[in-house]
Amino acid sequence: MSKTAWVFPGQGSQALGMGTDLLELPEAKEKFAEAEEILGWSVSDICQNHEDKLARTLYTQPCLYVVETILADLIAQEEKPDLVAGHSLGEYIALYVAGVFEWSAGLRLVKRRAELMENAGGGKMAALIGFDREQLNKILAETDDAVLANDNSSAQVVISGTPEAIESVLSQVKAKRKLPLNVSGAFHSPLMAEASAEFKDVLASIEFHQANVPVLSNVEPVAAVEADTLKQRLIQQMTGSVRWREIALALPEQGIERVIEIGPGNVLTGLIKRTASGLKLENVRSAAETKLVKS
């Protein structure tokens, strides 16, 4: 039997209507109801009717957590992963699936994370596609308040920092495409230090258990199961870079032959395809697609 990794997308993968086909499933109904108690608003209502709110960090992150965890639980009735990883917010779903914390504890973490990130204004992020990595690294090294936030693939990265610093980098670097992102702050950069410090206190109150499958973390893409290690890496995540390119490269090194992306869209399988060849890639975006998964 081939070794399988489950991967979970983060903010930016959300889509209006996601999770709609989950609403009639009894196990999903319970989760949606519990989520409403914790959040004070309806995930299903936001996902179905409010595209503007769904695009806001405050709502995006809890909605993705609820939908992706429900999908993962459905697949887990038939098979289990050999390894898990998630992109930014997706790491929280990966940790839940690995049994590191309880579902409600994870949602409370995501709720507070979203609140802190929503309020961390004053920064800017931009994606670069088709760029010279050596040139970009040199420019970033010479520019205060600008960092590599998401190393997604050899051809696509996201930079983060102050508006002035990001504009300076964009004016100097050569790239096929330069896309400013519609986000509220400079996520995955030192400018998130204040929010990260506050979030560290929240994390301290949540009990982490040893993972039942290895986890590749964003800030340190080396497989780990130890509770303290995984919590420390999560503490660093808000200010640290998402090293997704290295996670993709680590998959075959871990003996992974098959990757299932669980959640809306197909961003992660697309990035993995460009980085690590020879892997069987699948996507589960709906309840119907959970039935197509064959281990």
| Active site amino acids | 88, 188
Beta strands 156-161; 256-262: pairing state: unpaired
Residue written as tokens 């695009």?
55
**CA separation, residue 230 to residues 95, 101, 106, 220 (Å):** 8, 11, 14, 10
Q: Count of CB atoms within 10 A of residue 109's CB?
A: 22
> Which residues, at least 6 apart from 38, have a Cβ–Cβ distance to it below 8 Å?
104, 107, 108, 111
Encoded amino acid at 292, one letter: L
Cα separation, 294 vs 102, in Å, equals: 27
Residue 261 main-chain phi, psi, to 5 deg: -90, 120
Residue 260 main-chain phi, psi, to 5 deg: -115, 120
| 8 A C-beta contact, residue 149 and residue 156 | no
CA 260 to the chain's CA centroid: 14
What 8-state DSSP symbol labels residue 208? Answer: P
**Could you tell me which of 244, 242, 295, 294 has the C-alpha nearest to residue 273?**
244
